[in-house]
Structure 1
Amino acid sequence: MICIVLIIFALLLVILTATSPVTKGKYYKGSKIVDLPTTVKETHLRFFMHDILSGDNPSAVLVTKLNNLKFKDNDEHIPFGSIHIFDDPLTERLDPNSKVIGNGRGLYASVGRGTEVTLYLSSDVEFSSGEFNGSSISVACRDQITLEKELAIVGGRGKFRMAQGFVWVKVGFFNASTGDAVLEWRATVYHQ
């Protein structure tokens, strides 16, 4: 009996030693092995995304919708089952003539059939100027059409590699007749 207890104890000791926590890892970049940083940075961003459905040069376009469904009045621009593709400019301020600092590219699909219009949003938000030039955050989340909402940051590139976090999105401007909107994004990004 004592022998069995000693064997179990020895096995547990080997298992616990072999699975000790790792504080610093490595990843492959091309043919080199690169150390992963062990600290997490927190970055706060604020910018405006211009989602324009109207005019001669829209930044978002409807690519598909179901033809056999009857829609409610509030479904005019984003009926259930529709998918929009977008390449929206990002600016420093609400004014569309303010400095463009990047683009948000992706898609949103209308996934809610109830009284609330609900979208699924998948977007890569890339910055083209300033400290984060060439870096991006990835957002993938359910998006209820409300005046203020929270979206999930699920990844990133460049300086935002391995990003996580959240974005508070607030409607800065909305035109009900065209569907055009300007959204204020306040992002908290945790990254390496």
Structure 2
Amino acid sequence: MGKQYIISMLCAILIAGIAMPVAPTINKRPVAVERWFKNLPHTKEKLTKLHFYFHDVVSGKNSTVVRVAESKATVKSPTVFGAVFVMDDPLTEGPEPDSKIVGRAQGIYSSASMEEIGFLMTLNFVFTDGKYNGSSLSVVGHNPIFHKYREMPILGC
């Protein structure tokens, strides 16, 4: 039986109600957009804080990641450039892998950097329990996995 490696990531996501002007004549600077949003009738900013743990098991018999493609140059690349992976990772309440599962992180990531290990990630956080059961968040962006702090854009909810 090989060693099993688990990568756990604390995901603290802040979601704020964001509205963007659609008319080309509206001033699109951040301050102007904020002023425009606050002047809309019947609008209130809503802030939701989600706290969960993301477990990416990259090897072993219970792996949650599968490599589905790679280029001929990937084997020689120190950053695994060109490799493509599919994932279905548990989201849990606590940092332990056996904590209560509140959802799944499902998606695709690819090594897209030749200079550092950095992934282009396209994934959905699909919530299956608790207050947000049935909801999901879509995340797409660059993930420099060895950086202590990372930001990734949330595209939808």
The DSSP-based 3-state class of the residue aligned with 1:131 is helix
Which residue of the partner structure matches residue 119 of structure 1? 119
The size of the alignment, in residue pairs, is 119
Contact 2:73 2:82 in 1 (8 A): no
Distance 1:57 1:143 in 2: 23
The TM-score with structure 2 as length reference comes to 0.69
Which residue of the partner structure matches residue 129 of structure 1? 129
Distance 2:61 2:134 in 1: 28
Query: Residue 62 of structure 1: CA displacement?
Result: 0.7
Which consecutive residues of structure 1, in runs of 5 or more, have no partner in the other structure?
1-15, 25-36, 157-192
Query: Residue 149 of structure 1: CA displacement?
Result: 0.9
Aligned partner of 2:69 among 59, 64, 67: 64
Which residue of the partner structure matches residue 149 of structure 2? 148
Deviations 1:50-102 (A, max 9, x none): 10111123111111111235122xx3xxx101111000000011101110000
More strand by share: 1
Query: Residue 38 of structure 1: CA displacement?
Result: 3.3
The TM-score with structure 1 as length reference comes to 0.57
Higher Cα Rg, which structure: 1
Q: 1:18-167, aligned counterparts within 5 Å?
A: 23=40, 38-69=43-74, 70-72=76-78, 75=79, 79-114=80-115, 116-145=116-145, 146-156=147-157
Q: Which has the higher contact order (CA 8 A, sep 6+)?
A: 1
1:84 is aligned with what amino acid? F
Distance 2:127 2:142 in 1: 23
Which consecutive residues of structure 2, in runs of 5 or more, have no partner in the other structure?
1-24, 26-36
Aligned sequence identity (%): 34
